[in-house]
Amino acid sequence: MKSPMFAIAAAVTLLSAAPAFADCALPADAQAGKTATAVCKACHVFEADKPSRATGPNLHDVYGATAGSRADFAKYSEGMLGAKAKGTVWNDDTLFAYIGDPKAFLDQVNGKEMAHAMAFKLADEQKRKSVIAFLKEIKGKAECN
């Protein structure tokens, strides 16, 4: 029979190790959004601990951020820099419009047609909502990669 001190020591060890094994449990809509972002990963990353790619900024903490503000991404388009200058913040409405039609969104925000780099459009409204749910859910959570 093991002593009570062994049991306490084992419990403390397991509890202190828990963050290392922490997983990111996503609600169903956010999980669907994570699945929908598979196509985005050709240009972007979503992991908190990874730098932006040369082809697109890291989107892990994009929700609530100012457009075009990721410091480690240097290739923002003229349209995105214009959106940044106008103080555009990524929220449910701005992300929904941008993901649906980046060119139309940036032209509207800037009040004129401007060069942009994002060619992908996600027409499916439910998938856009799910992607936004995913971005909201992972914001500030390094374990959600």
In a domain? residue 4 = no
pLDDT recorded at residue 4: 45
The pLDDT tens digits for 25-50 are 999 999 999 999 999 999 999 999 99
Q: Predicted confidence band at 106 (pLDDT cuts at 50, 70, 90)?
A: very high
Q: Which of 84, 58, 113, 35 is nearest to 94 (CA)?
A: 84
Indicate whether 125 belongs to any domain. Answer: yes
Number of domains in the chain: 1
> Is residue 89 situated within a structural domain?
yes
Instruction: Evaluate whether residue 145 is within a structural domain.
Output: no
Mean pLDDT of 97-111: 97
Query: How far apart are the C-alpha atoms of 77 and 80, rounded to whole Å?
Result: 5
Domain annotation covers residue 14: no
pLDDT in tens, 45-89: 999 999 999 999 999 999 999 999 999 999 999 999 999 999 999
User: 7 lies in a domain?
Assistant: no
139: which 2 tokens?
């914001």
Domain assignment of residue 68, given as a range? 26-138
**What is the pLDDT of the chain when averaged over all its residues?**
88
Instruction: Kindly indicate the confidence band of residue 24, based on its pLDDT and cuts at 50, 70 and 90.
Output: confident
Residue 119 belongs to a domain: yes
CA separation (Å) from 55 to 39, 76, 123, 124?
A: 13, 10, 22, 24
10 part of a folded domain: no
CATH number at residue 31: 1.10.760.10
pLDDT-wise least confident of 5-9, 17-21, 24-28, 133-137: 17-21
